[in-house]
Amino acid sequence: MEALLPGVVRRVLEGAAPQPRWLPRRLLTVVSVDLDAAAGVGAVRIVWRPKSARAREHLALLEWYDEQWQYVGGGIGPVDATADVDVIEVRSGGGALSLTRRDNPPQSINRALWISCVTVHLGQDVGHVLIGNRRINAPEQRKVVASWTSPYASRRARPVIVAFGRGGGEISRIGPHDGLDTHTWKRLGEEA
């Protein structure tokens, strides 16, 4: 992973497609990349052997540290092949302590930031989402990875995620601790 990620990051920062040209998609597919240069964090979602029954998904967390993008950590698990989502659904994610913990070891947990990421599944009517104050256009495969930082004490909270339709109007939102979005809550209320 540490050998692959610098090239992916470089391509994304240059505005190119994140998938390495020399690496066949049947072996590895870079599905989604989120780099927040202002916050100095990012996440990359990669699927190893996407067409195989043994396909595995890897979420990698990155941080701008010591004048370069560095791999902070991540996780591997089965590919989430969930079918359609109405509007927004937050799925797999993870987190890691920032590399800034190295700067002051006795106070590392109290002062270092927490880097988090989630995979957000989007419905067919979603044109783009706002994650915090960052806009991410809905990709064709309807899944985006999003990263952010927070103090260690509030690491379980994520930014508000707001989904907008293709016409630009808000169609749903999900709060920092919510499990369901407003569209789903409304639908459940109508069914009751």
pLDDT tens-digit map of 149-185: 888 777 888 999 999 999 999 999 999 988 888 998 8
Average pLDDT over residues 14-25: 85
Are 161 and 170 in contact, with CB atoms under 8 Å apart?
no
- What pLDDT score does 99 carry? 82
Are 165 and 125 in contact, with CB atoms under 8 Å apart?
yes
The overall average pLDDT reported for the chain is 86
Q: Supply the pTM of this predicted model.
A: 0.83
Query: Residues 176, 182, 184, 190: is their CA dihedral positive or negative?
Result: positive
Pairing state between β 68-78 and 126-131: unpaired
Minimum mean pLDDT among 41-45, 92-96, 130-134, 163-167: which range? 92-96
Tell me which DSSP letter residue 189 carries: H
For 102-151, the pLDDT digits (tens) are 666 666 666 678 899 989 999 999 999 999 888 999 888 888 999 998 88
Locus of tokens 């927040």? 36
